[in-house]
C-alpha cells in the first residue's frame, strides 16, 4: 500500500439541543463532506446526535501532558475566583 491514506478527522457530536458538542472519536476520510457522512454512519447509528462537527486532526494544537503542572499552575493560587472563597455574613439573602 504505497498510497497515502486519507487524512484523520476528529468527530464531535451534540447529543441533544442544549448540550455542547462532545468529542466522540476519529475517522479517516478524503474530504470534509465524506468525513461528515462517515461520522454519521460511524457515531450516530442509534440517534446519538442532532449535530456533528468534523475537524482535521492536523488542525488541532494540543497542550502536552508533560507540561500540565507548569501550564495550568497560574490558576492554582487564585482561590478567590471561586465563590466559596468569600465569607458571607449571617442573614444576607440572595447572595
b/e sequence 22-35, b meaning 16+ C-beta within 10 Å: eebebbebeeeeeb
Cβ closer to another protein: 54 or 89?
54
CB nearer to another protein: pick between 70 and 93: 70
C-alpha cell at 23: 468529542
Q: Using CA atoms, how far apart are residues 67 and 72, in angstroms rounded to an integer?
A: 8
6-45 positions binding another protein, by CB under 8 A: 6, 8, 25-31, 34, 41-42, 45
Q: Given the rule CB under 8 A, which of 2-10, 12-20, 85-93 is the region that contacts another protein? A: 2-10
Could you say which DSSP state residue 91 is in? T
Residues engaged in binding another protein (CB under 8 A)? 1, 3-6, 8, 25-31, 34, 41-42, 45-46, 62, 64-69, 72
Amino acid at each position: 500500500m504505497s498510497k497515502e491514506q486519507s487524512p484523520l478527522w476528529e468527530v464531535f457530536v451534540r447529543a441533544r439541543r442544549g448540550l455542547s458538542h462532545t468529542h466522540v472519536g476519529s475517522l479517516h476520510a478524503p474530504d470534509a463532506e465524506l468525513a461528515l457522512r462517515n461520522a454519521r454512519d460511524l457515531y450516530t447509528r442509534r440517534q446519538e446526535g442532532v449535530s456533528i462537527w468534523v475537524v482535521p486532526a492536523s488542525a488541532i494544537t494540543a497542550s502536552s501532558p508533560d507540561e500540565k503542572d507548569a501550564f495550568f499552575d497560574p490558576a492554582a493560587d487564585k482561590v478567590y475566583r471561586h465563590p466559596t472563597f468569600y465569607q458571607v455574613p449571617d442573614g444576607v439573602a440572595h447572595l
